[in-house]
Amino acid sequence: MAGMTRPLRVLVVDDDALVRAGLTMMLDGARGIAVVGEAADGDQVPTAVDAHAPDVVLMDLRMPRVDGITATRRLRRRVRPPEVVVLTTFDTDENILYALRAGASGFLLKDTPPEQIVTAVRQVAAGEPILSPRVTRRLMDRVAGQADAYVRARDVLSALSPRETDVVAALARGGNNAEIAAELRMTVATVKAHVSHILTKLDLDNRTQIAMLAYEGGLA
């Protein structure tokens, strides 16, 4: 219908049928979101994505045949991959880092309140990363003590211009495009252009990976 935008399309991936049913019911009840498909294992994700063309994949980590990290990595190799939000009960440092490095745009725990999961789906679809507060704290604590990671990150970040570095630091502090624009006194379109250039220059997939690099390099 004229004047109407299509809902955000979500694929739910989890090996627990009850979890899938609960997430589907919750998300389908949210305004502007439609669950277009489900998958019970990571090896079903490529076929499901081809069939349903989701904007966002809500991805479990532990699955019998293909885990969520591997499935996420495979999705990111596509020409136009959907955004991925990992939703799991396992918040070990390794899981967090592996998932984000694989290209996930978010990492939430399954005890996250429903309204925050809905917000996360909308946020990553708009190109904004999302991490639960507990995950953010663990990530910052981990990278803070890694001298080698700091040196590597600073070397990579040295390729950026001063203004691009300002954008990276603001992004890592959790700012969305509008907030970064206000803080740095530039337009939202300019912020988006800077982020696009940064991703290309640093050979990264998404804003979450920029934020990780900023944490490692001491910009946040």
At 126-135, the pLDDT tens digits run 888 787 766 6
For 54, the domain range is 8-139
Give the position of tokens 């803070």: 144
In this structure, the answer to whether residues 169 and 201 fall within a common structural domain is yes
The reply to whether 120 and 211 lie within a common domain is no
Q: Tell me if 56 is assigned to some domain.
A: yes
CATH number at residue 74: 3.40.50.2300
The C-alpha atoms of residue 59 and residue 22 are separated, in whole angstroms, by: 14
Residues 18 and 120 in one domain: yes
Residues of 5-20 as b/e, b for ≥16 C-beta within 10 angstroms?
A: eebbbbbbbbbeeeeb
The percent of residues above 90 in pLDDT, for the chain, comes to: 50
Indicate whether 7 pLDDT > 50. yes
Residue 22 lies in a domain: yes
The answer, as to whether pTM is greater than 0.85, is no
Which is more confidently placed, 152 or 135?
Answer: 152
Quick one: average pLDDT of 95-110? 83
In a domain? residue 81: yes
CATH number of 174's domain: 1.10.10.10
